[in-house]
């Protein structure tokens, strides 16, 4: 292969459509825009979502839902992940260094998913009622 022999694949390049260049081209006079109306004028067209004055779809549909910006500071930890972690005392810093919660997490809560067999003491971490019962049943405590 030589650099002077390289060419694009067949069909990759095609001539640009030249409109408004006389009657013989087939795209003269109105240049494929038809007669009159907003779409035929230069610089005249509607904005995205405009439906000719009818109430647009995005405004006809009801507004729904809300997502709190405080959610980025909350995190959940499962009983299974505490079991895998294998620490006797668990605090916020330990969970962050282990990568179980994000670095921005401020409020952490243990949820009852999975089983816990090791005794774990939680410091500065909340727990759901079911998770607290499971931790205390395994010999741990929630402070």
Mean pLDDT calculated for residue range 39-52: 91
* Interval 7-34: pLDDT, tens: 999 999 999 999 999 999 999 999 999 9
Grouping H, G, I as helix, E, B as strand and the rest as coil, residue 90 is: strand
How do the residues of the chain divide into helix, strand and coil, expressed in percent and rounded to 5? 30, 15, 55
Q: Domain of 85?
A: 69-142
Pair (134, 80) in one structural domain: yes
In this structure, are 91 and 42 located in the same domain? Answer: no
- With residue 93 as reference, give the H or E element that holds it: helix 92-98
Question: 59 pLDDT exceeds 90?
Answer: yes
Do residues 20 and 28 lie in contact, with contact meaning Cβ atoms separated by under 8 Å?
yes
Is there a domain that residue 77 lies in? yes
Tokens read off for 116: 């816990």
Q: Residue 7: inside a domain, yes or no?
A: no
Task: Look at residue 91 and tell me whether its pLDDT is greater than 90.
Answer: yes
Q: Mean pLDDT over all residues of the chain?
A: 94
Place of tokens 């809560």: 109
Q: What number of helices (H) and strands (E) belong to the chain? A: 4, 6
Task: Give the integer Cα–Cα distance in Å for 138 and 114.
Answer: 13
Direct distance between the N- and C-terminal alpha carbons of the chain, in angstroms, rounded to an integer = 73
Residue 56 lies in a domain: no
Total domain count for the chain?
2
pTM: 0.55
- Domain shared by 81 and 129, yes or no: yes
Q: Return d(Cα 141, Cα 143) in angstroms, integer.
A: 6
In this prediction, residue 45 carries a pLDDT of: 87
74 and 136 within one domain: yes
In a domain, 58, yes or no: no
């Amino acid at each position: 292969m030589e650099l002077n022999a390289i060419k694009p694949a067949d069909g990759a390049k095609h001539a640009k459509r030249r409109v408004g260049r006389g009657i013989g081209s087939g795209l003269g006079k109105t240049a494929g825009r038809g007669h009159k109306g907003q779409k035929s004028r230069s610089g005249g067209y509607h904005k995205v979502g405009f439906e000719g004055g009818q109430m647009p779809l995005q405004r006809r549909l009801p507004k729904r839902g809300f997502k709190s910006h405080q959610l980025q500071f909350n995190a959940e930890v499962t009983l299974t992940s505490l079991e895998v972690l294998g620490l006797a005392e668990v605090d916020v810093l330990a969970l962050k260094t282990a990568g179980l919660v994000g670095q921005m997490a401020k409020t952490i809560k243990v949820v009852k998913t999975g089983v816990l067999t090791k005794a774990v003491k939680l410091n500065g971490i909340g727990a759901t009622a079911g998770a607290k019962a499971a931790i205390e049943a395994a010999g741990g405590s929630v402070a």
